[in-house]
Structure 1
């Protein structure tokens, strides 16, 4: 019985250590996201992030051995909640434009992650930059997801069969990335009003006559 109790206490101690380690890692990552969004990844060092997170640099390196590892983890955090990268099931056709509205609404609730992406994108436009290949692959994934969703809308009949869904997908990405950057420059702009106006214009230009009649 005593041996079992000792083993149980050891297991509980290990679980507690893991929980504390996970919490410390999350706190470091949250701090990194806020600082990178505000200053850019090139404007902060690992030491700066460690100090702001209230840990030693050695403690930070235990969870993130390199700055690239930390940047990738920060982008993982953004992508985990980004509906562009992980679109909800069943979003097809004209629903895509409603989904864009949901994306911006979510970003307003998480402005730090919004600034994080625009900063990392601007810093990794050149081949050889730490996140360049990942961001290119990410862009290709987003475009492919949109083409699939829009193509399903053509089959369902709510998007015109002659619509250039490849070009529409690029237009959506350009609008989202552009407005995201613009909002970072001037957060006073009526973001959701602009998205709603864009949505109406896009639906009017790509919807099938039947879909337009049904929504009238």
Structure 2
């Protein structure tokens, strides 16, 4: 590949990243259904056909936005090679991080509710995301049990489902009450109740 091609590729990747960032912001403001590719293109300073060069459909852009956020969170918080206890600590840290990004939390609350409809373009994404999330949390609890720090009687599968439900419910309350619900503190309290050591 030539230097010019390398530059073109890097420029294309940068524009794609900008489109994802602008789309994330707009989806957070007006929801997926209330947004348009033309508005996103305008915010990026490109034409509608220019945006379609990177994302041929609105659905493709939505999935890219969702995947990008999850990739960032996974890199920062999930660390599959960490101990079960450390992964549970990172889940609490993720709840704290979410308190700093209302737009993203709102986007996920809106889209996850919309995506319960089987014909929604993100339905498959959210089905798979919940499967992965539950598996990751179950494995973290299971490993914590193997490490001897999980309370007797705590079933990893049940604890994982409970924690996912708690986090989702707290996010909704936090959005509705203007951010006064202490999400991270309540997640920490629940995880701590499952453990024999300080989190």
| TM-score of the two chains, using structure 2 as the length reference | 0.88
Q: Describe the superposition over 1:87-136 as per-residue Cα deviations: whole angstroms up to 9, x where unpaired.
A: 2121414x444222210232244443323222221221112211112211
Pick the aligned partner of 1:78 from 45, 64, 69: 69
CA contact (8 A) 2:38 2:48 kept: yes
RMSD: 2.3
Contact 2:78 2:91 in 1 (8 A): no
Does structure 2 retain, via aligned residues, the 8 Å contact 1:50–1:56? yes
Alignment of 1:90 onto 2:82 = yes
Once the two structures are superposed, residues 32-81 of structure 1 have per-residue CA deviations (whole angstroms, 9 ceiling, x without a partner) of: 00000111010011111111221100000000001110001000111112
Q: Give 1:199's aligned residue.
A: 188
The answer to whether structure 1 residue 176 and structure 2 residue 158 are counterparts is no
User: Which consecutive unaligned segments of at least 5 residues does structure 1 have?
Assistant: 1-9
Task: Specify the SS of the correspondent of 1:160.
Answer: coil
Asked whether the equivalents of residues 78 and 117 of structure 1 are also in contact (C-alpha less than 8 Å), the reply is no
Looking at structure 1, the residues matched to 190 and 24 of structure 2 have their Cα atoms a distance apart, in angstroms, of 34
> Higher mean Cα deviation, 39-48 or 175-184?
175-184
Q: Residues 183 and 45 of structure 1: is their aligned pair in 2 closer, same or farther, counting only changes over 3 Å?
A: same
Structure with bigger gyration radius: 1
Output the TM-score relative to the length of structure 1.
0.81
Q: Give 4+ residue runs of structure 1 displaced > 3 Å after superposition.
A: 83-86, 108-112
Partner of 2:38: 47
1:32–1:197: structure 2 CA closer, same or farther, 3 Å change rule? closer
1:33 counterpart (24, 30, 36): 24
Is there any run of 5+ residues in structure 2 with no aligned partner, and where? none
Give the aligned partner of residue 134 of structure 1. 125
Alignment: residue pair count: 197
Change in 2 beyond 3 A, CA 1:164/1:124: same
Is 2:49 the partner of 1:66? no
